Amino acid sequence: MRFSVPHPIPYQGSKRRLAVAILSHVHAQHYNRLIEPFAGSAAVTLAAAEKGLFSSYVIGDVLEPLIRLWQNIIDDPITIAEKYELLWLRERANPIEVYYEIRTEFNTDRDPSKLLYLLARCVKNAVRFNPSGDFNQSPDKRRKGTRPATMKAELLAAHRLLKNKCRAVSTDFLPLIHEARQGDFFYLDPPYQGTSEGRDIRYVAGVSRHRMIEALAILNENRVPFVLSYDGYCGSRKYGEPLPETVAHRILLDVGRSSQATLNGNHEVTVESLYVSHSIAGSQKYARRSLEDFAAQVGLFGIAT
């Protein structure tokens, strides 16, 4: 089954392709609210809204301009579409020079329309921020990004799905964890451990393994269901250590060829871990069977589980 959903914010690592697999864990039980504390492109929220799986939605992110962008999409998509078009047309004379001008401006004024332009126009949509919140990715010299008419259609489609149903909040993820209640369902997509610590830092704020385990313990204690994307592999490189089985059940998902590896001239496959809460899975047998079946399909028996 495929979802046909809008995707106004292009993000490398977006879970748009995996939304069906993720939302397959929303079973017959009735959940009222989907909470996505690491919103990014909010691909799972949009897919769930398109299918009417929840009555309300919360998207959160520590990147304040991104949340203001989402608030504009929810409340006033026409204005953000018009501002995006002006930025897109502005670069016609000298695309690369203008890109860097707009990037410098965004790093000063944090204008959400400029963030949208940068996300659509940067190399492979590979989002990169420094710890101060400055956007530091280069322009893609082979393409111009999303055309204004296409972007406007995507923004309006997302607006129709989320209007009067979605709250956007700029916050660390823990306050959203603490306010969880019965009827909530969480999808968490924090930065990989390997891209938020050490030399390969790509985001404004990383998430330590310890903090993530503590947060999941709160959800487990309150029997609030969740699905989490966290660690994974790309070729021979491993991003983080698997979480303990006491926290959640682990399933491997073959994401396909890594766009970042392709950018570097390689052809490596990315594998992500999907963690399903005990309140959904219910037994270790479920997790082992799902893991073995998926590994058999994509030939991943050599990866330690």
CA distance 301 to 305: 9
Strand partners, 122: 139
Domain ranges of the chain: 1-189
Q: Among 36, 37, 6, which Cα is nearest to 23's?
A: 36
Task: Give the model's pLDDT for residue 131.
Answer: 80
CA distance 297 to 294: 5
> Which one is predicted more confidently, 257 or 254?
254
Task: Give the model's pLDDT for residue 206.
Answer: 67
Is residue 8 pLDDT above 60, yes or no?
yes
CA distance 169 to 256: 32
Contact present, 57 and 85 (Cβ < 8 Å): no
For residue 133, how many other CB atoms are within 10 A of its CB? 16
Q: What pLDDT, in 10s, does the model give residues 97-143?
A: 999 999 999 999 999 999 999 999 999 888 888 888 899 999 988 88
Long-range (24+ apart) CB contacts under 8 A made by 290-298 are 290/249, 290/251, 291/250, 291/251, 291/252, 294/251, 294/252, 294/253, 294/254, 295/252, 297/254, 298/252, 298/254, 298/269, 298/271
Mean pLDDT, residues 44-62: 95
Is residue 302 pLDDT above 60, yes or no?
no
The pLDDT-based confidence of 65 (bands split at 50, 70, 90) is very high
CATH value of 1-189 in 1.10.1020.10, 1.10.620.20, 3.40.50.720, 1.10.3720.10: 1.10.1020.10
Task: Give the model's pLDDT for residue 93.
Answer: 80
Q: What percent of the chain has pLDDT over 90?
A: 54
Check the CA dihedral 114-120-121-123 and report its sign: positive
Task: Give the model's pLDDT for residue 34.
Answer: 97
Contact present, 204 and 171 (Cβ < 8 Å): no
Mean pLDDT, residues 146-160: 96
Strand partners, 153: none
Task: Give the model's pLDDT for residue 205.
Answer: 57
Task: Give the model's pLDDT for residue 287.
Answer: 41
End-to-end, the C-alpha distance of the chain in Å comes to 28
